[in-house]
Structure 1
Amino acid sequence: MLRVALTGPESTGKTTLSRLLAEHYTTTWAPEYARYYLEQHGPGYTLADLERIARGQLRAEQNAMQAAQLQGRPIIFCDTDLLVIKIWAEHAFGVCPQWILEQIEQQQYDLVLLLNVDLPWEPDPLREHPHHRQYFYDLYLRELREQMSNFAEISGDLTERLEQACFHIDTLLGKTGYWRAPASLRV
């Protein structure tokens, strides 16, 4: 089972791209658990909340993997990853729980798509940092390089992001050719 994580700062299209990739590859995806959690408990959070969110994200990924296995699918997509929680925790509280750091080391993805901040900010009551997206992007990039992760930077409008992501995923799957978004998705 191949696992692809989408990561990066807020308002970069992770959820939309995860959903579109799952549709294109007819497989499952793990939604961002943090959104669900914060919608249930409110936008204020503690370090303990981030630990609960991390556990929820891991469960969402496990559920997506089980569903894909039942369907005989070779790949799943994860709308966010524990790296998001690590960066979030370190920024908000100056520390990340050790078990999350250990889980990040153990839980390698076959491909990580780092979404750039070149999309316009979309206001949302759960988003916090509209003016610090480049700062956070640079943190993600540094972390992925330090982890020596297999990652690709994804930029452009939604159509370009989808085309770039599919190119990298097809390469991962060993497919030849270049997938192009259907006209209905092109902007």
Structure 2
Amino acid sequence: MPELISLVGGECTGKSTLADALGRRLPAIVVSEFLREWVERSGRVPLPAEQAAVMAEHRDAEVRALQQADRSGLDWTVSDSGPLMTAVYSIQYYDDDSLLPQALEWTALSNTVVWCQDDFPWHPDPQRDGSHARKTSQQILASIFAENPGLPMLRVRGPVHERAETVLRDTISR
């Protein structure tokens, strides 16, 4: 069965760019950020009661991508902003940590959880709340990783090519 690389990090930390780069380099099936698609389709952010369904849909997309990779003979699937990020946003915006146990359970199934650092310049986007929100997400992730040292976390920083090289070197050698 193919292995899963899950990318996490606050807004504008290079997750999507890194996912595309890894998808080409490995090669891998890339699961795009379901939350972004949901917001584009709905024209708003999910309400607290909708967060669990958003998280579950992203996980379902990961499972489908893993199955597709297996049928295609690919060894890897890369998830852009996996279920853990939906749980982080629920904590950040709704003070609701109820999704965290399920998100951690699913995230623990990843071969590597790549934590994108916030050393990228901030780029405004209609779906982004601002650099202050990125900082808050990163702080929540730091707490989650500190409390769950068993997660296979890999911290990456620098330009995309350096991040990709770090993931390739540290993930494939595991």
Tell whether the structures are fold-level matches, with TM greater than 0.5: yes
Which has the greater radius of gyration?
1
Distance 1:44 1:71, change over 3 A: closer
- Which letter does structure 1 place at the counterpart of 2:155? E
- State the shift of 1:8 in Å: 0.6
- State the shift of 1:122 in Å: 1.3
1:156 alignment counterpart? 158
Deviation sequence 1:2-60 (CA, Å, 0-9, x none)? 11100010001111111110111122021110011000001343112322211220121
Q: TM-score, normalised by structure 1?
A: 0.84
Q: TM-score, normalised by structure 2?
A: 0.90
- State the shift of 1:118 in Å: 0.4
Percent identity among equivalent residues? 23
Structure 1 stretches of 4+ with a deviation exceeding 4 A read none
- Which letter does structure 2 place at the counterpart of 1:171? S
Helix, strand or coil at the partner of 1:38 = helix
Aligned length: 170
* Mapped contact 1:30–1:63 kept (Cα < 8 A): no
- State the shift of 1:102 in Å: 3.4
Helix, strand or coil at the partner of 2:77 = strand
1:75 alignment counterpart? 76
1:103 alignment counterpart? 102
- Which letter does structure 1 place at the counterpart of 2:80? D
2: CA distance, partners of 1:152 / 1:58: 20
Deviation sequence 1:62-101 (CA, Å, 0-9, x none)? 121111010122221111122211111112111133xx33
Distance 1:164 1:143, change over 3 A: same
Distance 1:105 1:9, change over 3 A: closer
1: CA distance, partners of 2:172 / 2:22: 11
- Unmatched tracts of structure 2, length 5 or more: none
- Which letter does structure 2 place at the counterpart of 1:114? W
Match runs of 1:19-98 below 5 Å = 19-97=20-98
- Which letter does structure 1 place at the counterpart of 2:30? W
* Mapped contact 1:90–1:96 kept (Cα < 8 A): yes
1: CA distance, partners of 2:132 / 2:43: 22
- State the shift of 1:165 in Å: 1.7
2:168 alignment counterpart? 166
- State the shift of 1:141 in Å: 2.0
- Unmatched tracts of structure 1, length 5 or more: 173-187
Deviation sequence 1:90-147 (CA, Å, 0-9, x none)? 12111133xx333224221121110000001111111113224233212212212322
